[in-house]
Amino acid sequence: MELETQRLILRKGKRGDWKDIVEGASDLNVSKNMTTVPHPYGKSDAEWFINDSIKKWNQKKGYSFFIELKSEKKVIGVMTIGGISETNGTATTGSWVNKKYWKKGYITEAKIAVNDFAFNMLKLRRLNSTVFTENKASNATQSKMGYKMEGMSRKAQRSKSTGKIHDINIYGLLKEDWKKARKNLVRKSK
């Protein structure tokens, strides 16, 4: 199973993706905003992540979509739907893009396809996400995608790469929020 957008293919990881993953995730500008990515980040870290993501995908426990830029046949980021709870109809999302490719609308394009997958194919009713309060790009992205900020948690998460403790914004996207946000996003891109 893979998803396709105008510029991207969103697919399961492959062992050969490790170089592209290292290029993106070894940059502190990326990892400082995340809780799970160590620094320094090398081949064995990427191989571990790829194997773990394939295992979870096969077990239907979570889907890490590797974001492949069609024009360069290169993986420029990852968008994950993890912690799927069938009982609650919820999951948690996280994503990053290689800094060379920021601000070109790639995560917006990827999220439209992956959110559709989460709500229509997985039949979820809510996506959760948390963002460090000072992470402008990610807070902007969440608002754009229709996520509602539901609260703030003080000193709640630690960046694995920097060791710094962060306050976080807590976001939720209901299926009905997504329907509205999607209409606006698609209208703007026309």
Ligand X SMILES: CC(C)(COP(=O)(O)OP(=O)(O)OC[C@H]1O[C@@H](n2cnc3c(N)ncnc32)[C@H](O)[C@@H]1OP(=O)(O)O)[C@@H](O)C(=O)NCCC(=O)NCCS
Kind plus residue range of the DSSP H or E element containing 145: none
Q: Which is nearer to ligand X, 42 or 105 (CB)?
A: 105
Nearer CB in complex with ligand X: 59/187: 187
* Binding stretches for ligand X (CB under 6 A): 30, 33-34, 94-97, 102-108, 131, 135-138, 140-141, 144
State the residue for tokens 């295992």: 55
Which residues, listed in sequence order, are joined to residue 84 by a DSSP beta bridge? none
| CB of residue 150 to ligand X, shortest distance in Å | 15
Number of neighbours of residue 180 by Cβ within 10 angstroms: 11
Nearest to ligand X of 40, 60 (CB atom): 40
Helices and strands (H and E) in the chain: how many? 6, 8
Contact 113, 66 (CB under 8 A): no
* Nearest distance in Å: CB 73, ligand X: 18
CB 182 within 8 A of CB 112: yes
**176 CB contacts (<8 Å, ≥6 apart)?**
none
Q: Which helix (H) or strand (E) holds 131?
A: strand 126-132
Q: Minimum distance from CB of 58 to ligand X (Å)?
A: 25
Smallest distance from the beta carbon of 138 to ligand X, in angstroms? 4
Instruction: Compute the distance between CA of residue 4 and CA of residue 171 in angstroms, rounded to an integer.
Output: 26
Give the residue with the Cβ less far from ligand X, 72 or 86: 72
In the complex, minimum distance from the CB of residue 105 to ligand X, in angstroms, rounded to a whole number: 4
The helix/strand/coil state of 117 is helix
Closest to ligand X by CB, 18 vs 96, is: 96
